[in-house]
Structure 1
Amino acid sequence: MIRVRKPAEPPEVLRTKGARVQRSQCAAYSRAPRSYENGKRSFEFDPNIYGHETVKRALREAQHGKCAFCESKFAHISYGDVEHFRPKAGWRQEEGEPLGRPGYYWLAYEWANLFLSCTLCNQQFKRNLFPLRTPERRARNHKVDVTAEDPLLLDPAVDDPEEFISFREEVPYAVKGNARGKATIRTLGLQREELAEQRRKHLRLVKALQQIIELRIPEAEEARNQLLSMQQDSEEYASMTRAFLR
């Protein structure tokens, strides 16, 4: 997981259509807040807006074609999911808890709340989980400032994940046992075996390049350049590679 630097200007579809729908939903909630809180009413969200191709394209470019969470490149097998960092329709503090409603409906089309994720990170692991260090500070509607929250999940557009999560070989761990690193690894399934297998393959190449460099053969310079390239943000599993070579 690495820092994601999005363009400051949101795609036009979010600034126009998204903003209109957002205003409408906020007004609807204000008219009947209890109905949305008890689930009698629910919001309908338009994936053609937050999942518009211009949004996906901007996220792909900002994330170098990688999942914002596990750093896997998936374009060759999947279009990817537009993931809402703060869940739009409902939230859970912990796995197995009842769904809290109405969710962060007012952030459904908010550029800062959107990332591109692989299907596994989004649909099998994170889903509607959004744990806070202090659950009582959760923003329950659009009238409350979300910046007062203290989320346990790392926001890759705000936080520098490498300050919280590092690697021992292919295994991620929370730096100095910090709570946010632990929660992010657990919630996003960053220790899942299938992902670890891909990281191990990547590390084998890193180690092989190191051996070539140590032999000081003619190919050593090319191997050194390859290792430098593999540490760039654009490369798959860059944070693990940097941690291993550090």
Structure 2
Amino acid sequence: MRRVDRRGVEVPASLVPQSPGRKRQSKGASELARNLLAFAEGRPKDMAFTAYSEDSVKAGLHSLFHGKCAYCESFYDATAPVDVEHFRPKGRVAEAEGHPGYWWLAADWDNLLPSCIDCNRRRRQRLAGPDGAPMADSTGKADQFPVDGAHLADHLAEIGAERPLLIDPCRDEPARHLAFRVDPDPLLALVLPLDAAEAPQRGAAAIRVHGLNRLALVQERTRILRRLELLRDVLARLDEAAALIEASGNAAARKALAPIEFAVARLLDDMRAMAAETEPYSAMVTQWLRHWATDLSRDD
């Protein structure tokens, strides 16, 4: 999970909030007005939620997150259509029996995130245990929304008074709560709670609810780490070769330094590119690169 600035994409036309100056309100604004009336008149069954599923919303989320799941950073198009996920669930809340859900935020652009099916839909999954051994559990957000304290009662409550345990990558800084295991011995790309000693433990909640250590997901992240470790080893060998050539004093051999330097530059560019926001698991790659830089500074 990585921080994403929602201002990078305009609010989709279908979700523009109600404005007194507009002759024709957006689908989302009209839907909210109808749902407010149904709630006031005690007709919850008449509430409808369709504006959030418009193609323009999906396109906006796709652009904002570069086609990646907001929670696990996997490319979702390779396996299944995207789920337009409500950070605060619209229909009900698993942890609060009788809670009607955050229905007033169903068409709120700030409450919507793109999610892969595995992070969003609750089902039995194979997880990677602390030692990498498979274990089974039910994961996937669905209508879960744990909070520290009480849930908001209705649309009149101040949203800032609620303290979610889950991490919203557009409001929170995931790197404050989540870290990846990037040590090469053993090479196992688990995500770990960075706030384990704090309260509330938001990192642990996100890992548990979204299943961020699903076995297949851990295996895919580990594959990326293996590639980084391989590139690091190649760079080390190239540096050794360049040092030997320099020490030899052989003028003919020194001609090999230019292509070696070119190869080093290309490999470093490739590693940096893997940390770009457009790439899968970029938060993990960024952490790995920082870890490597720290190791290099210690060696110096």
TM-score norm. by structure 1 comes to 0.89
Aligned length: 232
Runs of 4+ in 1 over 4 A off after TM superposition: none
Do the aligned residues in 2 keep the contact of 1:3 with 1:157 (CA within 8 Å)?
Answer: yes
**Contact 1:42–1:102 (CA under 8 A) maintained in structure 2:** no
SS in 2 for 1:222: helix
| Displacement after TM superposition at 1:78 (Å) | 2.0
Q: How does 1:203-222 map to 2 (within 5 A)?
A: 203-216=225-238, 217=260, 219-222=263-266
Structure-1 residue corresponding to 2:242: none
Q: Structure 2: which amino acid aligns with 1:43?
A: M
Take 2:191 and 2:34, find their aligned partners in 1: how far apart are those partners?
42
The question of 1:43 aligning with 2:23 is answered no
Give CA-to-partner distance per residue, 1:96-133, whole Å, 9 cap, x none: xx754311100000000001100111112000000001
Contact 2:72–2:119 (Cα < 8 Å) also in 1? yes
Letter in 2 for 1:117: S
CA displacement at 1:163 relative to structure 2: 1.4
Say which of 75, 78, 95 aligns to 2:77: 75
What residue in structure 2 maps to residue 60 of structure 1? 62
Match of 2:103 among 89, 98, 105: 105
Secondary structure of the residue that 1:219 maps to in structure 2?
A: helix
Distance 2:161 2:10 in 1: 24
Q: What pairs with 1:191-210 in structure 2 (closer than 5 Å)?
A: 191-210=213-232
Cα deviation digits, residues 19-62 of structure 1 (max 9, x gap): 11111101211122xx64xxxx363321xx21211111111111
Cα contact 2:181–2:192 (8 A) shared by 1: yes
Compared with structure 1, are the counterparts of its residues 121 and 99 closer, same or farther at alpha carbon in structure 2 (3 Å cutoff)? Answer: farther
Give the structure 2 partner of residue 31 of structure 1. 41
Question: How high is the sequence identity, in percent, across the aligned residues?
Answer: 34
Contact 2:2 2:169 in 1 (8 A): yes
Choose 1 or 2 for highest CA Rg.
2
Matches within 5 A, 1:62-211: 62-93=64-95, 99-124=97-122, 125-135=140-150, 138-169=151-182, 170-177=189-196, 178=198, 179-211=201-233
1:227: Cα distance to partner?
Answer: 0.6
| Equivalent pair of 2:93/2:144 in contact (CA under 8 Å) | yes
Cα distance between partner residues in 2 of 1:165 and 1:77: 25
Cα deviation 1:161-211 (Å, max 9, x = unaligned): 011101113111111414011111111100111110110111111111111
Deviation at 1:76, TM superposition (A): 2.5
3-state secondary structure, aligned to 1:196: helix
Deviation at 1:6, TM superposition (A): 1.8
- Tell me which of 14, 22, 26 is aligned to 2:32: 22
Query: Secondary structure of the equivalent of 1:83?
Result: strand
Q: Are the aligned partners of 1:43 and 1:89 in contact in 2 as well (CA < 8 Å)?
A: no
Distance 1:100 1:191 in 2: 31
Preserved CA contact (<8 Å) 2:121 2:142: yes
Deviates more, 1:167-176 or 1:179-188: 167-176
The answer as to whether partners of 1:171 and 1:196 remain within 8 angstroms in 2 is: yes
Greater displacement, 114-123 / 206-215: 206-215
Separation of aligned partners in 2, 1:210 and 1:14? 46
Distance, in Å, in 1 between the alignment partners of 2:55 and 2:32 is: 19
Letter in 2 for 1:4: V
Q: Which amino acid aligns with 1:107?
A: L
**Which residue identity does 1:14 align to in structure 2?**
L
Deviations 1:55-114 (A, max 9, x none): 111111111111000000121222211000000000122xxxx75431110000000000
1:122-166 CA-to-partner distances (Å, cap 9, x unmatched) read 11200000000112xx11211112221000001110001011101
CA distance in 1, matches of 2:10, 2:97: 33
Structure 1 residues 108, 195: CA separation in 2 closer, same or farther (over 3 Å shift)?
A: same
1:5 alignment partner in structure 2: 5
